[in-house]
């Protein structure tokens, strides 16, 4: 059965760690924890020992336990007039450390997240109001091994290789994609498959589009890559071995795609369509069937010369997209047939770029916006998230430090919060603080910064794409440049733990 439990919020903690500037606040808010325990279930096969706790969650011997997992158990009171409290002890060695006393519920949230790649032993001690004390059995579980790494991929046939987006296949491998810049003006799309250990499985390139702007997973590990195809929006459908199944282009007159989603049927692609008659550009949506045959075509004149930068499907079957126009950045919400429901313009008089959009667990739409008072290079913006419900502003968050480019991504975490990736200035120990670096920042559902981490701070490194894996860990995607070798940019991918950390080598 399911049982609701109320727990207090554990206060934010901060620490400074390693050579990367990290603000780590491990903060757990549990308003209603629903735990399947089987307690009292007449179909349960568990036979508890007399007066001892039983049915632990995680189950004893469990593996791949998440670092944010709570502990729960069952206990049957020996009488109606007896009350009970619990003491909880756990540790990674032979000695268990008392972590909680006087607990009145059969659920316990540890004050700190479990360490990655560790085996824990834990025990519940029952204390009854009649003075009886019963020690429960010692249970154990092992936490996930993140398999963390940070790799640059220097491929001889590619120069100035930059990655923008990635997806996770069902077996744990990654497909990451972007562009390289050979001696041509437009560049060439590039895709890499990387295994769980960070080893390159294969690479391929195609001249259909100059860059892969977005990747989306379809069925059976097939996936779609979209981007600008010379003067048209381009789409290629691949199997997981990188074999092209079909390719199509759409639009004309410098049209391009930058985002895609996979609804319940067919596909929806988002981008920008240049309106030659009006002399400006419109946000653009194209709906197709499963074979890429166009069924619907929509253009939106929102804020002057509009550029659509990101697109999502909402939880009611509709869609939302964000972008920038000559009059400022915008967020637009449409229904399942792409009829406009509302548009919010986020103009404040500065140059703004709404570059990435996501829907939170509470159905609120968040957008990552970079705002600058100057359009001159180098681009120095301050990134924020705006949260809207039905087009009404309900809150926001300012991320750490200035951004160095109009690029990055915001995603919804599996715990209801958000995480953003972008490029900022490194502030590592002993450094001058002026090196571009990939930065990931995680925000809890209630707006508290959990951690912010920089990666590869000693070499110039740019961050463009972010995804959270099935095991809760993160992958950051971008490019890096080694000044010791040459001025060439290499593909850069980092796989972190649930808390943004890298294991020591």
Does residue 177 sit within a domain?
A: no
Is residue 139 domain-shared with residue 214, that is, in the same domain? no
The angle at the Cα of 356, spanning 480 to 358, to the nearest 5 degrees, equals 125
- Which residues are CB-contacts of 398 (< 8 A; sequence separation ≥ 6)? 382, 383, 384
- Whole-angstrom Cα distance, residue 452 to residue 111? 20
- Going by pLDDT thresholds of 50, 70 and 90, the confidence category of residue 427 is low
The count of domains in the chain is 2
Residue 187, in any domain of the structure: no
Domain membership of residue 215 (yes or no) is: yes
Is the domain of 380 the same as that of 489? yes
Q: What is the CATH number of the domain that holds 137?
A: 2.60.40.10
In a domain, 501, yes or no: no
Same-domain check for residues 327 and 390: yes
The predicted pLDDT at position 286 comes to 97
The reply to whether 204 and 139 lie within a common domain is no
Q: In this predicted model, which residue has the larger pLDDT, 195 or 407?
A: 195
Same domain, 360 and 488: yes
Q: Which of 154-158, 238-242, 378-382, 432-436 has the lowest mean pLDDT?
A: 378-382
| Residue 235 dihedral angles phi and psi, to the nearest 5° | -140, 135
Same domain, yes or no: 484 and 406: yes
Note whether 128 and 209 are same-domain residues. Answer: no
**308 and 205 share a domain?**
yes
Q: Are residues 315 and 224 in the same domain?
A: yes
174 is a domain residue: no
Average pLDDT over residues 43-48: 46
Cα 498 from Cα 488, distance rounded (Å): 31
pLDDT, greater one: 476 or 395: 476
Q: For the chain, what is the mean pLDDT?
A: 81
Q: 221 by DSSP, 3-state: which?
A: helix
Q: Which residue has the tokens 């967020």?
A: 331
- For the record, the structure tokens of 155 come out as 């491929």
- Specify the pLDDT at position 363: 82
Same domain, 266 and 137: no
Arithmetic mean of pLDDT, 442-457 = 85
Last residue of a domain, one of 119, 143, 167: 143
Residue (of 226, 229, 155, 236) closest to 192 by Cα position? 155
Q: Give the residue-averaged pLDDT of 93-99.
A: 92
- Report the percentage of the chain scoring pLDDT > 90: 46
446, part of any domain? yes
Instruction: Give pLDDT tens digits for 462-492.
Output: 999 999 998 888 999 999 987 544 568 899 9
Provide the pLDDT for residue 497.
86
Q: Which of 414, 256, 380, 393 is nearest to 323 (CA)?
A: 256
Range of the domain at 28: 2-143
Token pair 């571009």 in the structure block, residue = 436
Q: What is the pLDDT of residues 63-86, one digit of tens each?
A: 888 877 899 999 998 888 889 999
Q: What is the CATH number of the domain that holds 229?
A: 2.120.10.30
- The pLDDT score that the predictor gives to residue 389 is 79
Burial pattern 29-52, b for ≥16 Cβ within 10 A else e, equals beeebebebebeeeeeeeeeeeeb
Check pLDDT > 60 for residue 61.
yes
Determine, yes or no, domain membership for 160: no
- Which pLDDT band, with edges at 50, 70 and 90, does 113 fall under? confident
Write out the two tokens for 105.
């519920």
Residue pair 364/333 in contact (Cβ under 8 Å)? The answer is: no
Are 265 and 117 found together in one domain?
no
Do the domain assignments include residue 338? yes
Indicate whether 121 pLDDT > 90. yes
* Contact (CB, 8 A) for 339 and 319: no
Residues in CB range of 159: below 8 A, 6 or more apart: 180, 181, 182, 488, 489
The 10s digit of each residue's pLDDT in 138-160 is: 999 998 776 789 999 988 777 88
The reply to whether 114 and 202 lie within a common domain is no
Q: Is the model's pLDDT at 429 over the cut of 80?
A: no
pLDDT at 28 over 50: no
């Amino acid at each position: 059965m399911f049982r609701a439990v109320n727990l207090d919020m554990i206060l934010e903690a901060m620490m400074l760690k390693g050579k990367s500037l990290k603000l780590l606040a491990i903060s757990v808010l549990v308003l209603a924890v629903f735990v399947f325990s089987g307690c009292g279930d007449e179909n349960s096969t568990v036979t508890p020992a007399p007066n001892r706790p039983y049915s632990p969650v995680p189950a004893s011997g469990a593996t791949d336990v998440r670092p944010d997992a709570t502990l729960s158990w069952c206990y049957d009171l020996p009488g109606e007039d007896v009350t009970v409290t619990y003491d909880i002890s756990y540790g990674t060695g032979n000695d268990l450390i008392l972590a909680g006393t006087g607990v009145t519920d059969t659920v316990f949230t540890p004050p700190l997240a479990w360490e990655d790649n560790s085996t824990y032993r834990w025990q519940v001690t029952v204390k009854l109001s009649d003075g009886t004390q019963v020690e429960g059995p010692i249970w154990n579980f092992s936490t996930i091994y993140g398999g963390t790494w940070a790799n640059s991929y220097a491929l001889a046939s590619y120069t100035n290789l930059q990655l923008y987006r990635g997806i996770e296949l069902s077996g744990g491998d990654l497909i990451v994609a972007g562009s390289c810049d050979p001696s041509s003006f437009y560049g060439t799309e590039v895709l890499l498959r990387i295994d769980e250990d960070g080893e390159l499985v294969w690479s391929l390139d195609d001249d259909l589009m100059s860059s892969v702007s977005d990747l989306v997973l379809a069925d059976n590990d097939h996936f779609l890559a979209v981007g600008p195809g010379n003067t048209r929006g381009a789409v290629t459908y691949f199997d997981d071995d990188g074999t092209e199944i079909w390719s199509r282009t759409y639009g004309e007159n410098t049209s391009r795609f930058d985002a895609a989603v996979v609804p319940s049927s067919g596909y929806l692609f988002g981008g920008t369509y240049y309106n030659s008659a009006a002399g400006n550009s419109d946000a653009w949506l194209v709906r197709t069937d499963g074979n890429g045959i166009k069924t619907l075509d929509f253009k939106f004149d929102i804020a002057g010369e509009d550029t659509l930068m990101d697109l999502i499907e909402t939880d009611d079957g509709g869609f939302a997209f964000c972008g920038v126009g000559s009059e400022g950045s915008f967020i637009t919400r449409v229904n399942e047939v792409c009829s406009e429901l509302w548009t919010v313009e986020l103009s404040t008089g500065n140059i703004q770029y709404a570059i990435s959009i996501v829907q939170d667990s509470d159905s609120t739409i968040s957008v990552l916006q970079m705002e600058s008072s100057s359009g001159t290079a180098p681009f120095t913006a301050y990134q924020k998230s705006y949260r809207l419900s039905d087009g009404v502003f309900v809150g926001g968050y300012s991320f750490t430090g200035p951004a160095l480019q109009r690029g990055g991504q915001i995603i919804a975490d599996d715990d209801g919060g958000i995480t953003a990736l972008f490029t900022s200035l490194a502030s590592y120990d002993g450094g001058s603080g002026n090196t571009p670096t990939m930065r990931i920042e995680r925000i809890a559902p209630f707006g508290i910064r959990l951690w912010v981490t920089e990666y590869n701070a000693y070499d110039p490194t740019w961050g463009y794409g972010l995804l959270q894996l099935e095991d809760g860990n993160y992958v950051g995607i971008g490019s890096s440049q080694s000044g010791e070798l040459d001025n060439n940019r290499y593909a850069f991918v980092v796989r972190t733990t649930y808390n943004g950390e890298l294991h020591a080598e």
